[in-house]
Amino acid sequence: MAKKKKLTTSAGSPVPNNQKSLTAGKRGPVQLQDYQLVEKLAHQNRERIPERVVHAKGWGAQGTFTVTNDISKYTKAKLFSEVGKKTEVLARFSTVAGEKGAADTERDVRGFSLKFYTEEGNWDMVGNNTPVFFIRDGYKFPDFIRTQKRHPKTNLRNPTAMWDFWSQVPESLHQVTILMSDRGLPQTPMHMNGYGSHTFSFWNDEGERYWVKFHFKTEQGHDFYTDEEAEKITGKTREKYQEELFNSIEKRNYPKWKLKVQIMPEKDAEKVPYNPFDLTRVWPHDDYPLIEVGELELNKNPDNYFQYIENAAYSPSNIVPGIAFSPDKMLQARIFSYADAHRYRLGTHYEALPVNAPKNAEVNHYHKDGSMRFFDNNSDNPDAYYEPNSFDGPVEDPTAQEPPLKVSGDISRYEDNDELSDFEQPGNLFRLFDDAQKERLFNNIARAMEGVPQEIIDRQLQHFDKADPDYGKGVREALKKHYG
């Protein structure tokens, strides 16, 4: 048998006893000098870090992305440079509203986060399982999230707040329709698509820009639970997704997604009859068809959940040359918000944690010192501690500069002013559902409206009516069926 390792203090000194406190006499009190007891208790008190302010409950795995189609004419991003190229990925899926211990099988939007460890740094695709979102302006995000979390007095989730908000923010109807449809309760994280949701941009070696939307299409199919089925599962286990994802990978039944993109030439953004940067809208697939890019496979369970999944810090600000942002107002808010959240949740140098550090690119920056500066503090070239310097410190790389973007207009706070109403796309989506899907939608909505004051319900019903008269009618009938 292999010789067992010696238990030591965190300073490396052997521990003589890890079971019995040091007491004054057999029945006497504990001695303060029992430093290891104090240390053990103090460490336990510090085991939890703050949970994510949203998307606290999550499940993750490691995997590989493989390019299957050449899109290098659109982007110089090296991860897409040739067919067959493979890049390591860390995935984290999540629900939005529930806390870290919440049940997995709750109706909610699901997060779909991917970290691609590319040779030009990490690219984070921090998306959802929906192609749109509830709001189109980051100003509204903290209020929206408050409606999803607990009431300050009852400490209960509050459907009144949810519908009060949604009924006063009609741009939410598209996402509300998806949330209340079958897509709002996938059976496992493997049975859902992932979407970048926002419009991002690609730019190529010629300095041409394309607007792009990312779609990760599940190869496992879109299995979903009805509310009734989910209730039963939640009664048996709160950890259904963790069990399914973990066990599937352990059994080498690796889940896969096809990455496809919609590409819009830069100039088209001025021509299309909708704002292509509006997160509450999709681009019609007839106008911008899906182009295959590659395949994502998850094939390894992380050795330690905390180290890999709880410590994972995803941010839409993590882009690589060839992939960039767009003028989407929501995206702009997110570019700030995530890194700020990580500094609070994980600490100043969160990007140096092994799961967040680039695996395939060098990191050379001039940030210095601070808490957590346990990694090299540029000690191999101490004279180069500012920029510019004459001591061979790291220098900028102008080839990483995206092409200039022309913008114009007066600085102000604008209403959305495109030609489509907030009801057109939700109506189109509703009309795509078959009768059984519509019936489930009506009933899911009715159930979710339990206890909501009538005036709020009436305001929301008007939105359903505007999307499609049959939508409003169906919800009214379901409400009658459930509550008389």
Is residue 305 part of an annotated ligand binding site?
no
Burial class (CB in 10 A: 0-12, 13-18, 19+), 173: buried
For 453, list phi and psi in degrees, rounded to 5: -55, 145
Using CB under 6 A, count the residues that bind ligand HEM.
27
Burial class (CB in 10 A: 0-12, 13-18, 19+), 246: middle
Q: How far is the CB of 445 from ligand HEM (least distance, A)?
A: 22
Q: Give the CA diameter of the chain.
A: 86
Kindly state whether residue 311 participates in binding ligand HEM, applying the rule CB under 6 A: no
**How many other C-beta atoms are found inside a 10 Å radius of the C-beta of residue 101?**
10
- Please identify, among the stretches 53-61, 65-73, 239-247, 452-460, the one whose residues bind ligand HEM according to the rule CB under 6 A: 53-61
Of the candidates 204, 299, 337, 437, which one interacts with ligand HEM according to CB under 6 A?
337
Of the candidates 190, 192, 259, 341, which one interacts with ligand HEM according to CB under 6 A?
341
Angle at CA of residue 142, ends 356 and 145, nearest 5°: 85
Residue 443 a catalytic site member: no
What are the C-alpha distances in Å from 188 to residues 62, 89, 94, 125, 314?
Answer: 17, 19, 11, 20, 21
Q: Which of 17, 18, 128, 129 is catalytic?
A: 128
Kindly state whether residue 333 participates in binding ligand HEM, applying the rule CB under 6 A: yes
DSSP string, 66-118: EE-S--TTT---GGGSSTT-EEEEEEEEEESSS-TT--SSSSS-EEEEEEEEE
Kindly state whether residue 202 participates in binding ligand HEM, applying the rule CB under 6 A: no
Query: End-to-end distance of the chain based on CA atoms, in angstroms?
Result: 71
- Please identify, among the stretches 52-60, 230-238, 375-383, 447-455, the one whose residues bind ligand HEM according to the rule CB under 6 A: 52-60
- Please identify, among the stretches 68-76, 174-182, 308-316, 354-362, the one whose residues bind ligand HEM according to the rule CB under 6 A: 308-316
Kindly state whether residue 62 participates in binding ligand HEM, applying the rule CB under 6 A: no
CA of residue 475 relative to chain centroid, distance: 30
User: How far is Cα 256 from Cα 29, in angstroms, rounded to an integer?
Assistant: 59
Of the candidates 75, 87, 94, 122, which one interacts with ligand HEM according to CB under 6 A?
94
Kindly state whether residue 197 participates in binding ligand HEM, applying the rule CB under 6 A: yes
Q: How far is the CB of 195 from ligand HEM (least distance, A)?
A: 7
Kindly state whether residue 136 participates in binding ligand HEM, applying the rule CB under 6 A: no
- Please identify, among the stretches 233-241, 254-262, 339-347, 364-372, the one whose residues bind ligand HEM according to the rule CB under 6 A: 339-347
Residue 128 a catalytic site member: yes
Three-class DSSP category at 16: coil
Note the residues at the interface with ligand HEM (CB under 6 A). 52-55, 58, 92, 94, 111, 113, 126-128, 133, 138, 141, 197, 312-314, 330, 333-334, 337-338, 341-342, 345
Active site residues: 55, 128
Binding residues for heme: 338
